[in-house]
Amino acid sequence: RILPSTSPVHWCTPKMRVFAVLCVALALLAPLAAALGGKNVVTLTEGNFKGKVLDDSAVWLVGFYAPWCGHCKALTPAFAKVADALKGVAKVGAVDMTQHQSVGAPYGIQGFPTLKLFANNKGKAIDYNGARTEQALVDAVMKEVQATVRARMGGKGGSSGSGSGGGGGGAAVTSAKHHLSVRLGDG
C-alpha cells in the first residue's frame, strides 16, 4: 500500500482549504490597502468610485497610486494624517491603479501618485500640483470646501463668527465669514 500524500491539499478538509485560501487572499491584499491608506482613507474601486465620489456631495481628495511606487509609499503617512484631520469635513480616498485602471482613465492618470480634488463640479476633477505636505493638502481641500459652500449659498458669504473643534493633538477647524482652515496638531 502507498502511504497517503503529505501534500496539504490531500489531507486538509474542505473547510481548512477555504480558510487557507482566505488567509492567502488577505495576506496579498493587505499591502494594497496600506498603500495610501489609513483608517480614514477610503479604498476606491471600479465598483464604488461613482457612488462614493461622483454621486456624493462631499469634497473628495483622491490619490491615484501604484503599490510599487516609492513616491506613493512616501506619501502614505501624510495622506493618512490628512484623512484623519479632515474626517467629517471632507473625504479622502485612494485608487490602486494596478487593479482599477478604468477609474483613473477619464482623468488622464499617467504618473503616480496623482492627486485630484472632486468638489462642487464633480464632472471636472481638479489637479493638485502643490506641496505633498499634510498642511498643504489640507489647505487645498479646505479651499475647495469653502468654494463649495459659497456655491451652495448662491455666492453669498457665510455667517460671521468662529468656532473650533478637535483637541488632543488633532485638527482644529476654524471658520470666519470667508475663511475656513484646518491646522494640524503635533500628534
How far apart CA 128 and CA 130 sit, in angstroms, is 6
Among the listed residues 37, 38, 72, 93, the single catalytic one is 72
How far apart CA 21 and CA 74 sit, in angstroms, is 31
Tell me whether residue 69 is one of the annotated catalytic residues: yes
Among the listed residues 69, 158, 166, 170, the single catalytic one is 69
Among the listed residues 23, 51, 71, 179, the single catalytic one is 71
Identify any residues that bridge with 126 across adjacent strands, giving them in sequence order. 117
Tell me whether residue 12 is one of the annotated catalytic residues: no
3 state SS of 49: helix
Tell me whether residue 63 is one of the annotated catalytic residues: no
Residues with Cβ within 8 Å of 69's Cβ and at least 6 positions away in sequence, in order, are: 112, 113
Among the listed residues 10, 70, 167, 168, the single catalytic one is 70
Catalytic residues: 69-72
